[in-house]
Chains A and B, each alone.
Chain A
Amino acid sequence: MEILVCVKRVPTVGGAITLTADRRAIDTKASGFTISPHEECAVEEAVRLVERFGGSVTVATLGPAAAEEQLRACLALGASAAVLLETEPGAEVGPIATAAALHAVATGGAMTGAAGPGAAAGGAGSGGPFDLLLLGNEASDTGDYQVGIRLAHLLGWPAATGIKALSVDEAGISASASRTYRGALETFALELPCVVTVKEGINLPRYPSLPGRLRAKRAAITRVPGPDRAPAQDVRMTSLRVPDAPKKQATVLGQGAGAVPALVDVLVELGVVS
């Protein structure tokens, strides 16, 4: 089974978010970078499927040269090929342009002009043809909620989103993907090849092994130019701002069990206790 996983380099957000002076990006001078937890789970899910069915996992990202760090992290977890669609540092590429660029990777087109052999030749796995595309449900930074679906339409494949349980039948021809919605379990049946966007909770990702990390360090990464920074039709960001945190001064109801009577009064006042 050939699986393509798409990930995105995003800042590691810890405490408060600080913006750059032009208010068009997060100030990352003091922060590291990562991929979203959803995407870590997508990589893990792909590696597990390949452990069961054979085949290989290719990981792709659209981002600056530094996004190589995130690709190597995925290689350390068990992906065997990586593609970087390189963009200018600081460029924001919208979801329509991103889906189009990833489409070229998914069909092998992006690699034909790339340096080095192996593209579209199968072998050590890069260029497909792919049986399954996995993405995180949404990127943790821009949260556009659409790249997976747009990609599926470009490929003419079925798609399921927000998936928290995925099973592929023994023959590897169909998948059952489920999620919870308003307290009910929704299950979608899909024929492969298909696109599935997953959420944290679908699995518990492994830690990279030492051999995995050593292999990832040496692995070749296919680099191809990404789209330029002018996505014609996408939503155009003008500026970012941190929402005003509600300036609340918490009313302290007391210490320990001694606060319980005051706590009950508040519950009554809020109408949750009659």
Chain B
Amino acid sequence: MTVFCLVELDGPAGAGGAAGVAEASLRAITLGRGLAAGSSSTGESGAVGGLAAVVFADPGSEAGPGLVADLAAYGVTDVFAVSGIDGYAPLACARVLQWLVSDSANPGLHASPDESPYPSPASWGHAVVAAGTERGNEVLAHLGAITGLPMAANCTQAVDNGAGAYAIVRQRWAGLLLEEAVLEAPVALLTVATDAVAPVPAAVAASATVHHVAPSVDGGDLAVRAVETPAGAGGASLATARVVVGGGRGVGSADGFAPLEELAALLGGVVGVSRVVTSEGWRPHTQQVGQTGTKITPDLYLACGISGAIQHFAGCSGAKNIIAINTDPAAPMMTRADYAVIGNLHEVVPALVIALRERAAAAG
């Protein structure tokens, strides 16, 4: 079998050379590699365990040598660099994936995605994997809709049991529950949870071959297309930030966030909040961490005045380390954290800001 992984890129779209593989995609590739390696199915070409990355990028810029090397380190043997699609159009991405999977045994056989029979016999036994991001989930949902195939969102495990049957584990309730399930399909469509599968490079890096493909896509598939504009006050996005300083009910007011912002800036991170904070209108919803907000996967989550509702844990359980500051030592956030400071955040955070400033001044 060949596992095709839809790759999302970090960094500014269209800016030459700067983009890297998004961590969420590395997690998806890691799951895809396990699926390909453990496969008992043999594809038409006779190749077992192929791992292909599909990158929607100008081959002259983003899919440059650095990007290909990063993918090869994760075991990717083939990189399909797709050009000719201007901007992000979810349906066009799905159509190209359909075409690549159908024609993988014979690339270039069909000039356009519309001419590919699907699922063609050549595509049987293959899988398409994407990150469980907004883009990954919607592209695979489109692929499921145009092919009539089932799609399993936010998987944490997938095993090929042969004969088109896969044993999967996927997240429900944003990860608060796990579902064990059977997926039966000629082509498996899976997205991978962004906060549960650790990104692990291959034991031995692969040697990746780059295929430049420029499929012709029907205009209708490009009708819904994203126009990108930088959002808000710049800064790192909450979903990808390495440090998140969280604020909850204990912050008490919109003004109370100033010290948290200061702390986040000193730690090179961003501010995230609990649901009560956005309901109160203290902070915009874009900063909400949790089941209905953003899922975060920072190295450090510093949760200040957050008691820790179950829906909040659904958003922050992917954090590598949690430090909680709370007046209530019995709060769920305090008992599930790695480190706890018992105290009022309005006292602790300003004192921490001063200590960090003094430390920086002494070093500088």
Contacts and interface: CB of A to CB of B under 8 A. Distances in A.
Interface residues of A, number: 83
A253 B171 CA distance: 33
Contacts of A162: 134, 138
Contacts of B267: 267, 272-273
A271 B342 CA distance: 23
Contact of A243 (B175, B324, B337, B342): B175
Interface residues of B, number: 99
A261 interface: yes
Given A149-B142, A183-B237, A242-B177, A257 B154 contact: no
Interface in A122-150: 138, 140-146, 148-150
A260 B228 contact: no
B336 A245 contact: yes
B286 A143 contact: no
A186 interface: yes
Interface stretch (A9-17, A110-118, A222-230): A9-17
A252 interface: yes
Contacts of A26: 177
A159 interface: yes
Interface string A234-250: 11111111110110101
A85 B22 CA distance: 41
A138 to B, nearest CB: 8
A235 B176 contact: no
B348 A257 contact: yes
A199 B275 CA distance: 13
A261 B342 CA distance: 14
Contact of A261 (B176, B183, B355): B355
Nearest to B309: A14
Nearest to A151: B145
Interface string B148-191: 11111110000000000000101111111111111111000001
A257 B148 CA distance: 59
Interface stretch (A65-73, A74-82, A174-182): A174-182
B191 A145 contact: yes
Given A158-B224, A162-B138, A257-B343, A251 B338 contact: yes
A191 B224 CA distance: 9
Nearest to B279: A204
A241 B348 contact: no
Interface in A189-247: 189-191, 199-201, 204, 233-243, 245-246
Closest 7 A-B residue pairs measured CB to CB?
A201-B285, A183-B237, A146-B141, A256-B343, A153-B145, A257-B351, A149-B141
Interface of B: 10, 13, 22, 88, 90, 132-135, 137-138, 140-142, 144-146, 148-154, 168, 170-185, 191, 223-231, 234-237, 239-240, 242-243, 267-269, 278-279, 281, 284-286, 288, 291-293, 299-300, 310-311, 321, 323-324, 329, 334-344, 347-348, 351-352, 355-356, 359, 363
Given A200-B292, A236-B183, 10 more contacts: A14-B310, A16-B310, A96-B150, A162-B138, A182-B240, A233-B150, A251-B339, A252-B340, A253-B339, A254-B342
